[in-house]
Every structure is written in structure tokens, then in C-alpha cells.
Amino acid sequence: MPSHKKLFIETLGCAMNVRDSEHMIAELNQKESYEITENLKDADLIIINTCSVREKPVAKLFSEIGVFNKHKKPSAKIGVTGCTASHLGDEIIKRAPSVDFVLGARNVSKITKVVDKKHAVEVSTDFDESTYAFGEYRSNPFKAMVNISIGCDKSCTFCIVPATRGDEISIPSDLIVQEIKKAVVTGAKEVMLLGQNVNNYGRRFGSSEESCDFTQLLQKISKIEGLERIRFTSPHPLHMDDAFIQEFASNPKICKQIHVPLQSGSTKILKEMKRGYSKENFINRCEKIRTLCPEATISTDIIVGFPGETDEDFEDTMDVLEQVRFEQLFSFKYSPRPHTEAAEFDNQVDNAVAGERLTRLQARHTEILDEIMDAQLGKVHKVYFDELKPNGRVSGRSDDGKLFFVEGSEELLGKIVDVKVIKTSRGALDGILV
């Protein structure tokens, strides 16, 4: 019997990229069997699934291609996929002729068509994959990631995603439900719903005449037997109406963890970013979540040093941090991206000033986080265990998204168990079964 080909795949960026990588593995395996390898030198096919949200990944890509080309087998192919592939297209092969194919983020289903076609470039952002049923592959049998939409309809002035992933199209709800049911049958009790703006779901479908918004989709999914937990990322503050927050708070299957991307606390800067809400709107939505669901944890994204950001604007951001007290913070210095409006703005903030603001923001958030985590000592959470760790430990997450470690074996995997917190740190909690 011929041996399986070996695939090395490096996934950069967001959860949607992770799911795109799983889709590519599933599609390739339908054509011929691939075995995943961690060893580059063994691979017959090397895929770099890229991100282009910030500057550094693009620069990193070309240095990696060079390294990979140097260490790979002579017969091995290199493919570049994802968002950077979408916006650079042919340029990747011009700059790095060792790359065999380029596949954009909106063209994942074409992986089997390009893999054997030298210097193939498929990067259309108009291609509609919304009704394509991908093959089955999940890196973790206990939880599933499921796309509910592709693309993005927003026009945030700092963001390259609409240029790389195209216009937003919702995936028909029946396809989503089918995919989740399949995952549940094979052991998943938790699903993560993915989209650039999940709560904009239902605004436009490709070929279907369906009428279903995000709140209705959550209700449909929560009826699936055997599914115990629903997570999603990421919603947009603009679409957080009362019906959605009510569903989030009252539906027992929906995990009480929500990502609400702020980007800036300054209404002036939010307007320049074209975010569509004000500082007051944002705080109001977070207060609504906390009122209806006091146990909820709220995470966010913040960009500092956006063009035109003054000290006053930054203080507004710090004020929101104090008022909402986010349990998790993803914060970055602004970096101009191609195909975005803000890259052309002439009032760029000095890099050193932006760096100082970022340091201050992160330092204050660290203090808040320490207070939040220290208060967990002795508390009991229901934890869903889904991963074996070295040294006889198992990890999982509580309903509100906190990462837990306990001593245990694979017998715990796929189970929801009461765990008491015995040790706290910023990133995770140690516990014992109770």
C-alpha cells in the first residue's frame, strides 16, 4: 500500500483562519490521504495560511518562505493561502518563485484544483462559497468551529479584511445546523460560531431566499440534541440589539462570554474609523449585558495611536476600560494597511507616543485582570475539558471562558465537571474536581 503524503500547515491569525485550515485539510483528504506532520523536512506539501490584519505577518511571510524552501524536500510543494494571499496575489510568486500556488481566503474550496497546478493563483473576492459543503475535519473532536458567514460588509477605515475576504454572505441556516449535528455525533459538545460580524447574520444570503437573523439562528442551534455549549466570535457593537442581548443572557446553552470590539473609546475617533457607534452607545450595550447577565465576561479589541488620536481621545479609551473592566483585552498599535482609507490619513500619530499609550493601557488592564482573577479563588465553575496537557494535566474552559487546568487523564475529555479554583494567574486557573 502506498504511504500517505505528509502535510505541514502553519496557520497564522484568527479563528476563521484555523477553520479555513481545517477545511483545506478535509478537501485535500477527499482527493488523496494526507498525514499531518510537525516536521517540515518530512512534508510533501507545505501550506502557510496567512493573516494580513497587521503589518508584521506580511514581512514574516517572505522570510518564512525562504526558510521553508531551504529546508524542504526537493519535491515538496509550497502553497500560500489566506488573507495575505488575497491582497498580494501574483506578487507572492514574483517575489518568491519557489511558491507553487496562491489561494485567497475566499477560495478555500479550490485547494484541490490548485495544488497540482504550477504557479496557480486563485484570489477572487467575489467567489461565493456560502453553500459549499466542505468535507469533515476537526483538529479537536470535543469542540467544533463552524463558519456562519463569509466576508465583511463594514467599511472600517483601518481594516483590510473586506478587501481580502469580499462582501458578507450568510451561510444557509440548514447547512450550519447539519454541520453542527455531524460534529455532535462525533463527540463535540461545544460549538464556536465564526464570522467577521456574527450578529449581522442574515442580512444577505447567496442563493437562498431564507429569512433568519442571528438571534433566530442561535435559537435553532440551541435545539440540537447533545450540543451543550454555544460560543461565537465576533459580534459587532452596532448590531447588539436588546433581543440579541436577551437571548445571550437567557439561553442556557449560550456561554456567558462575549467579545465586544471597542477599537477606541473616543467618539471622534470611532467616527473616523467608521465604526457606527459612539462611546456612550458602547458603554450602554456593555451595561445592558452586565445587568441581564452579571456573570458574563466581556473581552474587547483596542487600537491605540489611530491617526488623529489626541491625549484626550486616549483618555476616553482608558475611561471605557475603567467602566467596563474587560476580562480580556487584545490591544495593538495602529499600523497602516494597504487598501484602507486610514493609510492615506495625513495625521499619523508618532510611533513613540503610540507605544507609550499602549504600555499604559496594557499595564492598567493587567491590574484589573489581577483583581478579577484573584477574586476567583475558592469559586466553583462548570468546566468542559477538551485537551490533554503534559505532566498528567487536562485543560478546559468554564462557561464564561476562563481557562482551567486540573490533574487528570483522558477520562475527563468531553465531560463537563464542577471544578474549584485553588490557584490563580492572569492567563489561567488551577483547580480540583469537586
CB 377 within 8 A of CB 386: no
Q: Which residues share a beta bridge with 431?
A: 421
- Specify if 181 maps to a domain: yes
Distance separating alpha carbons of residues 253 and 313, to the nearest angstrom? 38
Statement to judge: residues 163 and 193 lie in one domain: yes
**Nine cell digits for residue 404:** 482551567
- Specify if 289 maps to a domain: no
Statement to judge: residues 132 and 116 lie in one domain: no
| Total structural domains within the chain | 3
- Specify if 399 maps to a domain: yes
- Of 255, 285, 320, which marks where a domain is finished? 255
- Specify if 101 maps to a domain: yes
Q: Which residues share a beta bridge with 381?
A: 419
CA 424 to the chain's CA centroid: 26
- Specify if 332 maps to a domain: no
pLDDT values of the chain reduced to their tens digit, one per residue, 434 residues: 456 899 999 998 888 899 999 999 999 999 999 999 999 999 999 999 998 776 666 778 899 999 999 999 999 999 999 999 998 999 999 999 999 999 999 999 999 999 999 999 999 999 999 999 998 899 999 999 999 999 999 999 999 998 889 999 999 999 999 999 999 999 999 999 999 999 999 999 987 788 999 999 999 999 999 999 999 999 999 999 999 999 999 999 999 999 999 999 999 999 999 999 999 999 999 999 999 999 999 999 999 999 999 999 999 999 999 999 999 999 999 999 888 999 999 999 999 999 999 999 999 999 999 999 999 999 999 999 999 999 999 999 999 999 999 999 999 999 999 999 999 999 999 999 99
Distance separating alpha carbons of residues 166 and 191, to the nearest angstrom? 25
pTM of this structure: 0.93
Alpha helices in 96-222 (DSSP H): 111-114, 161-165, 173-185, 214-222
What is the domain range of residue 144?
128-255
Statement to judge: residues 107 and 153 lie in one domain: no
Statement to judge: residues 160 and 221 lie in one domain: yes
- Specify if 406 maps to a domain: yes
How many residues does the structure list for the chain?
Answer: 434
- Of 93, 122, 151, which marks where a domain is finished? 122
The number of CA neighbours under 13 Å toward the Cβ of 184 is: 19
Give SS3 for 45: strand
Statement to judge: residues 84 and 134 lie in one domain: no
- Of 225, 255, 285, which marks where a domain is finished? 255
CB 389 within 8 A of CB 403: no
- Specify if 313 maps to a domain: no
Alpha helices in 142-239 (DSSP H): 161-165, 173-185, 214-222
Provide the greatest CA pair distance for the chain.
Answer: 69
Statement to judge: residues 132 and 234 lie in one domain: yes
Statement to judge: residues 139 and 172 lie in one domain: yes
Statement to judge: residues 155 and 46 lie in one domain: no
Q: Which amino acid is at 208?
A: S
Statement to judge: residues 248 and 136 lie in one domain: yes
| Sequence-ordered list of residues with C-beta below 8 angstroms from that of 18, at least 6 positions apart, any chain | 11, 139, 145
- Specify if 74 maps to a domain: yes
Statement to judge: residues 46 and 153 lie in one domain: no
Statement to judge: residues 132 and 251 lie in one domain: yes
Statement to judge: residues 251 and 134 lie in one domain: yes
Distance separating alpha carbons of residues 54 and 330, to the nearest angstrom? 13
